[in-house]
Amino acid sequence: MNKKGMLIKMDNYIMKTLAYNKQVRILFVENTDIIKEICDHKNMNKLLKTTLAKTVSIASLISGTLKGNQRISLKVNASNRKYKIFADVDSMGNIRGYINDELLNASLDYTSNFSIEQLIGNKGCIQVMKDLGMNGVFTGITEMPYGNIVDDFSHYFKQSEQIPTLFSLNIVFNEKDEIVSSRGILVQLLPGAAIGLIDDIKKKISDNKFSLLTFKNNMTLKEISHLLFEDIQVLGFDQIQFFCGCSKDIFYPMLYSLNKEELFYAHENNKPIEIVCNVCGKSYSFDKDEIKSLI
């Protein structure tokens, strides 16, 4: 069902609800296909896939809180500031995310021996930039006391926006370290709600997480929500989708970073220069004539 109440088929979507006598906003997300597409990268081991999937899933859930032309960008900085994870989303549910080249190209032997907490380290930080439209931009930065990304974003909302918040994600891999399922929940207390509610909800989700959110369970998010919460009210469903927005024109300036010798060599030897988008993996080839125009 979309915002106008019309029935549509959605493989990736957010379900918006209210519960606890309308004191709590709870969003559920099914984004398996999006996560698969974003994390399907030959250089990513399970650790990097999990790290990126968690960041993108949190962005997916936050998209359900945006209005109008609002957009939000997330950046996770590890203690080693060379390593960064990005995700951004707009109010229309267009989502993208990527790991920067330094982390993506880090030794697989090195990252394979790490947990997420070890990768983030004890000096990681989260940066959130929210574009409110009409030239209004809010930027918030918090430390990462948990180092697991999920609880750190709950911490961010509590510290930076004073909103008691809980994120719960369930990302399932098969024996080949391929992502087969991704679902998540965002809980936020509304003004006037008792602070203790967040702990009650956290326990309820934790107690039922394995049976309710695994990929082997074919229940819909609506069925899951009613099993978790007795008085839940479903407000609507919003479609979400992966959208990169890259184009060949965007990558022309990157060719200027090459020295003249490289450009001359490619032109004289009729060797195309290929640039790959690190968000979606699409490659763009620049032929002899295009290189000549730069020279």
Pairing of strands 94-99, 241-242: parallel
Decide if 6 is inside a domain: no
Order across the sheet with 13-19: list the strands.
Answer: 165-173, 179-189, 24-30, 13-19, 233-239
Distance CA 197, CA 293 (A): 63
Each residue's pLDDT tens digit, 17-33: 999 999 999 999 999 99
Decide if 272 is inside a domain: yes
Distance CA 256, CA 235 (A): 50
Residues in CB range of 169: below 8 A, 6 or more apart: 53, 54, 57, 58, 150, 182, 183, 184, 185
Distances (CA, A) of 6 to 59, 91, 239: 25, 19, 12
Q: Which amino acid is residue 100, in one-letter code?
A: N
Decide if 51 is inside a domain: yes
Q: Residue 159 is part of a domain; what is its CATH number?
A: 3.55.30.10
Q: Which amino acid is residue 112, in one-letter code?
A: S
Decide if 7 is inside a domain: no
Q: Residue 270 is part of a domain; what is its CATH number?
A: 3.90.1280.10
Residue 5 has pLDDT above 80, yes or no: no
Quick one: 126 and 256 in the same domain? no
Indicate the average pLDDT of the chain: 86
Quick one: 39 and 161 in the same domain? yes
Quick one: 254 and 158 in the same domain? no
Which two structure tokens, joined as six digits, stand for 142? 């918090």
Q: Which structural domain, as residue segments, surrounds residue 283?
A: 248-294
Mean pLDDT of 110-125: 90
Quick one: 274 and 194 in the same domain? no
Decide if 176 is inside a domain: yes
Decide if 256 is inside a domain: yes
Residue 107: what pLDDT? 76
- Give the chain's domain count: 2
